[in-house]
Structure 1
Amino acid sequence: MSRRQRKSSSQGGFVLAEALLCVILIALTVALVATTLTFGRRVADAGRGRERIAQMSTGAQALAGWLARALPVQQVGAGGGRRVLFEGQASRLTFLTLSQGDAQPGGILAVTVTFAGHTTGGTGALVFVAAPVLVGTLSPLADPGEQVLIGHVVTGQFRYFGAPADGEAPRWLDHWTQASRLPDLVALHATLALGARPETVDLTFRVFAH
């Protein structure tokens, strides 16, 4: 083999090695970028998950405080029967509570908590309305707007435990209406979009006033 042929063969080998090196570097760069993007998405998802958990905790604490100070105000019907001003359904509840004047106006409040606002993405929110009222009614003196208590709700349901009237055995009920007593417990079963997949949350709130 002549010197020129050996030189041409050597240059061809270098070109092939450089091409292979470029391919390897490009592959490593693509893999590094993909890993960085995936890690960034995971960090962002984790951050959103923490924010949603914090919001859920704050909302649950607020609801627990309101129910702990629920007022057993009774209304006398036309026939002389009494019913407590507490309307509990599977998807909403309304009751009277005593506000300490921190986040809400002080005095007696009518609080309504309900599931609403489901979007095409399948999530909604547990929202509430709290407004001052006159004793003996669940109608607020003003018409305040809804505020989000717990967001990113996929499904949700309330249940109630207690004896609806004196002499009855305590039991779990899907509704608490026309009762003469407040429930002992209010349970919230909800599916929340807290992260990459929905999470089931079961909370139980104690109603102290009777």
Structure 2
Amino acid sequence: MTEMPRQPSDLTRTAPTDPDQATPQTLISAEDIAARLDAMAADIVRELGPDITMIPVLKGAFVFAADLLRALGRHGAKVRLRVQFLQLASYGAARESSGTVTRSGALPEVEGETVLVVEDVLDSGRTAARALDLMRDAGAGRTALAVLLDKPERRVVDCPADFTGFTIPDRFVVGYGIDWAERFRELDHVAVVD
């Protein structure tokens, strides 16, 4: 697990209420993310072996999952990856989780497989725990959780990550696939808007 690389000193704490009025400020650079994903991929291949079914939790984890997928390939030319998707939501357009995790679509077929659930932010733990439970219920042989960002201060459900990109303070983050009301996903870095 890697701590956040640096805490920018000029970050403001005034929380905007409208994404159109927000000015995201860099928290973790694209370069720091790329370096960390490379190290995570090496750890994942070493721990889980060459046959992994990756299950990104949509929508927020899709950018992280795509870059992690490429990094996994670089760390094991023989790594056989199968990618399926799981759509879970607890935020909607709000800045706070509703506390209820809803699923859309069919469950991936994972019976007997080594499943790596890929999540953008581990905060309350509800979404990640639900994803892992769904995979176990679907017959996964082994499950593991990879998260880009971990906010341990917000944990409500005991759901530790097996592989963590960065541990960050309880700040509202966007970018690198993570949105606020479908905005800011396109940023190549993680930013705060609080």
- The alignment's TM-score, normalised by the length of structure 1, stands at 0.25
- The alignment's TM-score, normalised by the length of structure 2, stands at 0.26
Higher RCO (Cα < 8 Å, 6 or more apart):
2
Whichever structure has more helix as a proportion of its residues is: 1
